[in-house]
């Protein structure tokens, strides 16, 4: 992230990465022209109201995929939250429909 204001042409740089674990210490970045807003980042910043399980951490991208042992809870979480028609339309696929045997086994 790079920030500069109209009056101050210096820049503030902070490291970013798509993989969890890049942030090694608490860091802040003031938003230019908005003194009332400061972006904050720190290691392991997870808001508890949004996380109720390990699957939540995986789906949110907080837990590294290379360390995931069981992916099924995360898959179940995604399919519970996103309607079948949305997944099929977005990815251009047709998901298999549950059979009567699947329905009987889930009860």
What average pLDDT does the chain have?
76
Question: What percent of the chain lies above the pLDDT cut of 90?
Answer: 23
What pTM was estimated for this model as a whole?
0.49
- Asked if 88 contacts 94 with a C-beta cutoff of 8 angstroms, the reply is yes
- Asked if 24 contacts 43 with a C-beta cutoff of 8 angstroms, the reply is yes
Residue-wise pLDDT for 23-81, tens only, equals 666 677 888 888 888 887 766 655 555 567 888 888 877 777 888 899 999 999 998 99
Distance CA(100)–CA(105), nearest Å, equals: 9
């Amino acid at each position: 992230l790079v920030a500069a204001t109209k009056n101050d042409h210096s820049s503030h740089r902070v490291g970013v990465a798509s993989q969890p674990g890049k942030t090694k210490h608490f860091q802040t970045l003031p938003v230019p022209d908005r003194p009332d807003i400061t972006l904050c980042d720190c290691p392991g910043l997870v808001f508890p109201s949004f996380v109720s399980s390990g699957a939540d951490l995986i789906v949110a991208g907080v837990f590294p995929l290379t360390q995931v042992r069981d992916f099924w809870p995360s898959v179940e979480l995604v399919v519970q939250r996103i309607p079948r028609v949305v997944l099929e339309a977005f990815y251009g696929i047709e998901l298999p429909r549950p059979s009567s045997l699947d329905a009987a086994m889930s009860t």
